Amino acid sequence: MTATLMDGRTLSRQLLESTAERVTGFHRSHGRRPCLATVLVGEDPASHTYVRMKVNRCTEVGIDSRRFDLPTLTTTEQLVRVLRDLSSDSAVDGILLQHPTPPQIDEHAAFEAIDPSKDVDGVTGTSFAAMAFGYRGFASCTPAAIMRLLDAYDVPLSGQRAVVVGRSAILGKPIGMLLLARDATVTYCHSRTTDLAAHVAEADLVVAAVGVPHLVRGEWIKPGAVVVDAGYNAGNVGDVQAATAANRASLITPVPGGVGPMTIAVLLAQTVDAAERHG
């Protein structure tokens, strides 16, 4: 069996095009464009790349962006002040704080300084709760991107055994909640899980979201399973051994070109959602 690739690039293009149309409509009716503020602390080259990609995509679809690049030694208090100021700035619809922040930053406190109505990246506790309880709110972007990919490829979820490898606040935990909300039977695996291979081998759907290159081995994959690789490791390497996994899976997301591009497209779509709610 050779897996079909779940093409995040094409799907993201489609979402960006529909977002651009919504931006045009918003501009016509409100006389202004939606605005995303990006906040980046430090010099991490990958983070700079991701923020640049987000800003470039904003330009492509007609969203205004305001970029705040803060020095590596920024304190939590200084960062919180910037985020609170942006939260109370009526010209800003959405706020993105790029993760990870440098080690001296209390990232949780920083995320919580973002007004939930502008949390288009879905990183606050309010957004997480909304997602978990099924209320209106902003989903964390990568989990929302994964759900869009699964739906685009008509992957059945109800009653399916889903294994999520990873338990981070903006990826592993929320994707498990979204799959649970669609009636999947969800197992979280993490660094203390004793037999990862055995859990993965039981899964109809594997979501690898741990940030360890090639941790999930191809021979663990149940024949016919769906494999989502949300890893974004250096050198564009995913968390799954893609070449061998593709011999057993029915569907698999490539790295690059799978979950990553969709993540950014969702961020922009949610920025327009926020602008429409702000009016």
Ligand X SMILES: Nc1nc2c(c(=O)[nH]1)N[C@@H](CN(C=O)c1ccc(C(=O)N[C@@H](CCC(=O)O)C(=O)O)cc1)CN2
Look up 121 and say whether it is catalytic: yes
Look up 204 and say whether it is catalytic: no
State the Cα angle at 103 between 100 and 109, rounded to 5°. 75
Residue with smallest beta-carbon separation from ligand X? 260
Mark out the alpha helices in the chain (DSSP H runs). Answer: 8-30, 45-61, 76-87, 107-112, 125-133, 141-152, 172-181, 196-201, 242-245, 259-278
The CB-of-123 to ligand X minimum distance in angstroms stands at: 6
Catalytic residue among 7, 93, 119, 121: 121
Mark out the alpha helices in 119-164 (DSSP H runs). Answer: 125-133, 141-152
Look up 54 and say whether it is catalytic: yes
Among candidate residues 224, 221, 233, the one with its CA nearest the CA of residue 259:
233
Which lies closer to ligand X via its Cβ, residue 147 or residue 204? Answer: 147
Residues 6+ apart with CB under 8 A from 49: none
Which lies closer to ligand X via its Cβ, residue 144 or residue 200? Answer: 144
Query: Is 217 labelled a binding residue?
Result: no
Which lies closer to ligand X via its Cβ, residue 166 or residue 261? Answer: 261
The CB-of-232 to ligand X minimum distance in angstroms stands at: 4
The CB-of-278 to ligand X minimum distance in angstroms stands at: 20
The alpha carbon of residue 172 and the mean position of all alpha carbons in its chain are separated, in whole angstroms, by 10
Binding-site ranges for ligand X (CB under 6 A): 49-50, 96-99, 121, 123, 141-142, 170, 232, 236, 255-257, 260-261, 263-264
Which lies closer to ligand X via its Cβ, residue 169 or residue 181? Answer: 169
Which lies closer to ligand X via its Cβ, residue 113 or residue 160? Answer: 113
Among candidate residues 275, 262, 254, 232, the one with its CA nearest the CA of residue 99:
232
Catalytic residue among 54, 118, 173, 222: 54
Q: How many CA atoms lie within 13 A of 70 on its CB side?
A: 21
Which lies closer to ligand X via its Cβ, residue 160 or residue 258? Answer: 258
Query: Is 67 labelled a binding residue?
Result: no
In order of 29, 49, 192, the CA distances from 195 in angstroms are 56, 35, 9
Residues 63, 181: Cα–Cα separation, whole Å? 31
Strand partners, 102: none
The CB-of-238 to ligand X minimum distance in angstroms stands at: 8
The secondary structure of the chain in percent helix, strand, coil, rounded to multiples of 5, reads: 45, 15, 40
> Which burial class, exposed, middle or buried, applies to 44 when counting CB atoms under 10 A from its CB (0-12, 13-18, 19+)?
middle
Q: What's at 32, amino acid-wise?
A: R
The alpha carbon of residue 229 and the mean position of all alpha carbons in its chain are separated, in whole angstroms, by 12
Query: Is 12 labelled a binding residue?
Result: no
Catalytic residue among 7, 64, 98, 118: 98
Q: Residues comprising the binding site for NADP(+)? A: 166-168
Can you say which residues are annotated as belonging to the binding site? Answer: 166-168
Catalytic residue ranges = 54, 98, 121
